[in-house]
Amino acid sequence: MPTVNEIVLRVVVRDGENATRVIREIGNATNGMADITRQNARSTREGLDSISQQLASTRQEVIAAATSFLGLSAITHAGGYAIAAATSFESLQARLKTMTGVLKCSPRLWG
């Protein structure tokens, strides 16, 4: 019993004319199999090219998303630092006013 990758060929030749016809038919069948193999190889190559393009596109999208995320993260952190700095300044201002009695000074000192 042949496997998937095997072809069993049995030729019974009784005369020369029959042999020529059989050999021609075998050649035609072989050419047909070669055409099918080429078509399958072309389809496989096109499929692999498509997958490669999709992977490249996905890679670019992931890089863009990561860049956007990092940009938003940096903005968020910068905003957080600005808020923290303002809060620290207000806290320092309140402490200094309390500790030094600067409440009597001009409001222009602290803005």
Is 54's pLDDT higher than 70? yes
50 part of a folded domain: yes
Dump pLDDT digits (tens) for 31-40. 888 888 888 8
22-33 exposure pattern, b = at least 16 Cβ within 10 A, e = fewer = eeeeeeeeeeee
86 part of a folded domain: yes
11 part of a folded domain: no
Overall domain count for the chain: 1
90 part of a folded domain: yes
Q: What is the per-residue pLDDT for 47?
A: 86
Dump pLDDT digits (tens) for 67-93. 877 777 777 777 777 777 777 777 777
Q: Which tokens in the block code for residue 83?
A: 């808020």
Q: What is the per-residue pLDDT for 96?
A: 65
What dihedral angle (degrees, nearest 10) is formed by the CA atoms of 85, 90, 92, 96?
160
Alpha helices (H) in the chain, listed in sequence order:
16-100
User: Which domain range does residue 59 map to?
Assistant: 16-103
Mean pLDDT computed over 7-23: 73
